[in-house]
């Protein structure tokens, strides 16, 4: 879960980072592009602004010149002089009609004028073109108007320009309320006498509407025109700006920038505003006016052009393929980022797995080393011997246990000894057989052998060997060797126990039988005599009955001890059963045997048995034995005939009163 969270976070980063990188890469390009577009827009707007400025100036100057030209018309002067001099109407009717017709023509010819008025020096209207034909006086007084007051002291060719204001205008025969501007000039006679003034009222919107900028081209180009106070001088806009509204109130920031410099540009949110100042009082180079005066705070005007500010969205919207390419770039960058992260994630996963495997391998290696060490230890110190032989029987490997048995160092043995050389010659055949078995198809073999150790001792062993074969090729034999010493000793002990009488420690009947055959063969071979003595203790039943069976046993043991002292090495003393014994005397003639028998009899009778009793501390119990002696004939197949003869002698001894020796020749 933790890994998935991490992957999720990395994927988010892999998505965001490429987007940021691509954006950072593309941003300067688009910025340069936008700057170029902005320059282009700026250039276009400047051109448009200049055209606007020139057009307005041209129209205004044209109107100024027309006003001035009309003011200098002789017919106008004559009319004013006639009025001033009180010439009767009928005498100046022609002049008046001509003047009225001319002014009427001026109004109708130039659609920009809404009113042409002739005013005398007292402020009384003398004539208004179009509205009233030949009025005199019209009854309208201008004495209190700003126009009259601003114009009445102007020198010849002086102009008074009012601020644009709302007024009435006739359009297509209807009177409408629209923005107007007054232009007035004094009229002087030939002799410089002030005769009156001429007032032209212009339809301001008609004038400004004819300007090139004012026509919304549909490309978002708009005009801006305010006076010195920030009063909106253009027709109502879609944004809700109406003629006369205060731009300073609606857009204080724009107004601040606009009013703080004569010309420049303002970067709006979505638009670019270029502006310049037009002061009609000083900018009218191409008119014929002398002095131009305006009401306070009505000049200068700020003229501006608002063009859409190039934007990234607009730039892209121009060509859909750009959006497609851009989208593709972003998509590719995100894909690359995601693939990169996935690749890193995969690499990290594989690295982690490799480390885990490595750790596991190290762990296993440590375990296997430990295991190998344990196996080596078990191999070296096993309670049995291990060795490996090559196909020639040469020792290639051997464990410490077997080396210790043999008494050699490992460097003395490996690749130097053939194992069979350690095997005693009498058991070597068995070893060879077993080794052949290992080399054969059976691939195993076993033998009981005796090893010859360095110190000369012989070590009985049993060897179990198998062949190590790889792809059908014998590599080496591997053998397990068990020490048979203890077993052999046990076997020998058991065998001996089977031949020994447990009460007296003397050989038993079975031993005698085996030894008899050997001694008889040896006597025959060497031509020596072999004699036999049969011994039976006298009245032994009585001893048992009198003193107990345990005492009887002591007597039997005492007899064995006594008899041993009287016999020589090589004589074989056996207990045949009960209280009957046989002595086989190799290399002994019957006479000598008789002497031995007599010596035995005397020793027995002279050696009583000491018995501990409850009543008396020690009781000496004397006993005797009767003995029969016989010779073992060389031609006899077994000892039985000789034993029979000796029994006959014994029988005779018993009959003779016991405790004596008898020979039976047979
Ligand atoms: N204590 C003891 N008694 C034994 C053993 N073997 C045999 N006897 C006893 O030896 C006695 C032998 O008695 P007999 O065969 O009658 O002979 P005897 O009493 O010696 O008489 P003679 O041979 O005629 O002198 C029997 O009572 C047996 O029970 C033994 O191992 N220990």
DSSP of 227-272, one letter per residue?
-TT-BB-SS--TTS--TT-BHHHH-HHHHHHHHTSSEEEEE-SSEE
User: Does residue 183 contact residue 200 with C-beta atoms inside 8 Å?
Assistant: yes
pLDDT average, residue stretch 141-153: 90
Q: Where are the domains of the chain?
A: 40-312, 387-488, 500-663
Tens of pLDDT along 419-440? 999 999 999 999 999 999 999 8
Most confident of 63-67, 81-85, 230-234, 580-584: 580-584
Ligand 1 atom with minimal separation from the 551 CA: 1
Give the tokens for residue 529: 């005599």
For 435-449, the DSSP string reads HHHHHSTT-EEEEEE
Residue 179: strand pairing partners: 166
Q: Which of 230, 204, 276, 227 is nearest to 59 (CA)?
A: 204
Between CA 430 and CA 482 the distance in angstroms is 15
- The reported pLDDT for the residue numbered 561 is 96
pLDDT digits (tens, 9 = 90+) for 502-532: 999 999 999 999 999 999 999 999 999 999 9
Cβ pair 141, 125 in contact under 8 A: yes
Distance 91 CA to ligand 1 centre (A): 214
306 pLDDT above the threshold of 90: no
For ligand 1, atom 1, which residue shows the shortest CA distance?
552
Of all residues in the chain, what percent carry a pLDDT higher than 70? 95
Give 247's strand partners: none
CA 521 to centroid of ligand 1, rounded, Å: 34
| Residues near 104 by beta carbon (within 8 Å), at least 6 away in sequence | 129, 130
- Locate 520 and state its tokens: 């008889």
Local confidence band at 8 (pLDDT 50, 70, 90 cut-offs): confident
Assigned token pair, 330: 């972003």
Q: pLDDT averaged over the chain?
A: 88
Taking only the tens place, the pLDDT of each residue in 91-102 is 777 787 888 888
What pLDDT, on the 0 to 100 scale, is given for residue 95? 80
Cα separation, 300 vs 304, whole angstroms: 13
Alpha helices in 548-660 (DSSP H): 549-566, 590-605, 640-655
Q: Which CATH architecture has domain 40-312?
A: 2-Layer Sandwich (3.30)
Longest dimension (CA), the chain: 231
Higher pLDDT, 95 or 537: 537
The pLDDT value given to residue 223 = 85
Pocket of ligand 1 (CB under 6 A): 503, 536-542, 544, 549, 552-553, 556, 578-579, 654, 658
Give the CATH number of domain 500-663; options: 3.40.50.10860, 3.30.300.30, 3.40.50.10170, 3.30.70.270.
3.30.70.270
The three-state DSSP-derived secondary structure of 589-601 is CHHHHHHHHHHHH
What tokens appear for 173 in the block? Answer: 């025969």
pLDDT tens track for 442-492: 899 999 999 999 999 999 999 999 999 888 888 999 999 999 999 999 988
**Which pLDDT band holds residue 25 (cuts at 50, 70, 90)?**
confident
40-312 and 500-663 agree in CATH topology: no
What would the DSSP string read from start to end of 138-196? Answer: -S-B-TTSHHHHHHTTPPTT-EEEPPPEEEEEEETTEEEEEEEEEEEEEEE-TTS-EEE
Asked if residue 276 lies in contact with residue 49, where contact means CB atoms within 8 angstroms, the answer is: yes
Under DSSP, the state recorded for 214 is G
Topology classification of domain 387-488: Beta-Lactamase (3.30.450)
Any bridge partners for residue 143, and if so which? none
Nearest alpha carbon, ligand 1 atom 31: 578
**d(CA 541, ligand 1 centre) in Å:** 4
- Quick check: helix, strand or coil at residue 404? helix
d(CA 290, CA 68): 10
**From 541, 551, 554, 621, mutation site for ligand 1 pocket: most ligand atoms within 8 A of C-beta:** 541
| CA 456 to chain CA mean position, Å | 69
Contact 295, 182 (CB under 8 A): no
Distances (CA, A) of 588 to 534, 597, 598, 626: 15, 12, 14, 20
For ligand 1, atom 24: residue with the closest CA: 539
**413: pLDDT strictly greater than 90:** yes
Residue-level pLDDT at 616: 64
Q: Which whole number is the average pLDDT over 115-123?
A: 88
Other CB atoms within 10 Å distance of the CB of residue 42? 17
644-666 residue pLDDT tens: 999 999 999 999 999 999 998 76
pLDDT bucket at 131, cuts 50 / 70 / 90: low
In this prediction the pTM is 0.48
Residue bearing the CA closest to ligand 1, atom 10 = 541
Q: pLDDT of 156-170, one tens digit each?
A: 989 999 999 888 776
For 452, phi then psi, to 5°, come to -95, 115
The mean pLDDT value for 200-208 works out to: 83
The CA distance from 121 to 148, in Å, is 9
CA of 535 relative to ligand 1 center, distance in Å: 12
* Structure token digits, residue 400: 């410490």
Q: Residue 608: which pLDDT band, with cuts at 50, 70 and 90? A: very high
């Amino acid at each position: 879960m933790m890994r998935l969270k991490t992957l999720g976070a990395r994927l988010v980063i892999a998505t965001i980072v490429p987007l940021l990188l691509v954006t950072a890469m593309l941003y300067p390009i688009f910025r340069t592009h936008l700057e170029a577009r902005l320059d282009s827009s700026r250039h276009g707007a400047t051109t448009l602004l200049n055209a606007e400025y020139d057009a307005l100036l041209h129209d205004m100057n044209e109107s100024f010149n027309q006003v001035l030209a009309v003011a200098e018309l002789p017919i106008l002067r004559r009319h004013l002089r006639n009025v001033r001099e009180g010439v009767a109407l009928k005498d100046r009717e022609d002049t008046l009609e001509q003047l009225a017709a001319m002014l009427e023509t001026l109004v109708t010819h130039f659609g920009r004028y809404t009113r042409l008025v002739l005013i005398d020096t007292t402020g009384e209207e003398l004539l208004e073109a179009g509205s009233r034909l030949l009025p005199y006086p019209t009854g309208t007084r201008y004495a209190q108007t700003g126009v009259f007051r601003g114009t009445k002291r102007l020198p010849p060719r002086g102009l008074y320009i009012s601020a644009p204001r709302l007024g009435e205008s006739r359009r297509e025969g209807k009177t409408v309320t629209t923005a107007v501007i007054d232009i007035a000039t004094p009229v002087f006679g030939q002799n410089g006498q002030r005769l009156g003034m001429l007032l032209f009222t212009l339809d301001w919107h008609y004038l400004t509407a004819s300007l090139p900028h004012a026509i919304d081209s549909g490309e978002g180009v708009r005009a801006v025109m305010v006076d010195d106070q920030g009063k909106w001088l253009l027709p109502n806009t879609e944004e809700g700006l109406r003629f006369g509204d205060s731009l300073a109130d609606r857009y204080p920031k724009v107004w601040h920038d606009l009013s703080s410099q004569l010309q420049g540009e303002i970067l709006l949110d979505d638009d670019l505003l270029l502006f310049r100042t037009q002061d009609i009082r000083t900018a009218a180079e191409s008119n014929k006016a002398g002095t131009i005066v305006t009401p306070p705070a009505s000049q200068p005007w700020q003229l501006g052009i608002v063009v859409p500010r190039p934007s990234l969205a607009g730039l892209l919207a121009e060509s859909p393929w750009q959006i497609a390419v851009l989208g593709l770039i972003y998509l590719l960058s995100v894909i690359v980022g995601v693939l990169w992260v996935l690749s890193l994630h995969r690499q990290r996963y594989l690295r982690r797995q490799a480390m885990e495997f490595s750790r596991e391998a190290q762990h296993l290696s440590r375990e296997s080393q430990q295991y190998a060490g344990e196996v080596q230890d078990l191999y070296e110190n096993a309670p049995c011997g291990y060795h490996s032989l090559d196909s020639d029987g040469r020792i290639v490997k051997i464990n410490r246990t077997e080396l210790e048995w043999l008494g050699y160092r490992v460097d003395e043995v490996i690749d130097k000894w053939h194992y069979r050389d350690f095997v005693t010659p009498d058991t070597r055949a068995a070893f060879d057989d077993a080794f052949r078995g290992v080399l054969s198809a059976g691939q195993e073999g076993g033998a009981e052998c005796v090893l010859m150790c360095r110190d000369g001792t012989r070590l009985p062993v049993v060897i179990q060997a198998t062949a190590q074969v790889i792809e059908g090729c014998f590599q080496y034999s591997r053998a397990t060797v068990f020490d048979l010493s203890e077993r052999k000793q046990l076997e020998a002990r058991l065998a001996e126990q089977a031949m020994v009488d447990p009460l007296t420690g003397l050989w038993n009947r079975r031993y005698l039988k085996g030894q008899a055959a050997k001694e008889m063969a040896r006597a025959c071979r060497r031509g020596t005599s072999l004699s036999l003595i049969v011994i039976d203790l006298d009245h032994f039943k009585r001893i048992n009955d009198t003193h107990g069976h345990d005492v009887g046993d002591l007597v039997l043991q005492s007899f064995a001890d006594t008899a041993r002292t009287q016999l020589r090495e090589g004589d074989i003393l056996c207990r045949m059963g009960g209280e009957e014994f046989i002595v086989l005397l190799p290399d002994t003639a019957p006479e000598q045997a008789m002497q031995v028998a007599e010596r035995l009899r005397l020793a027995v009778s002279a050696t009583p048995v000491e018995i501990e009793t409850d009543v008396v501390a020690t009781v000496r119990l004397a006993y005797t034995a009767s003995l029969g002696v016989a010779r073992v004939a060389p031609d006899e197949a077994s000892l039985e005939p000789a034993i029979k003869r000796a029994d006959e002698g014994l029988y005779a001894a018993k009959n003779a009163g016991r405790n004596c020796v008898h020979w039976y020749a047979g």
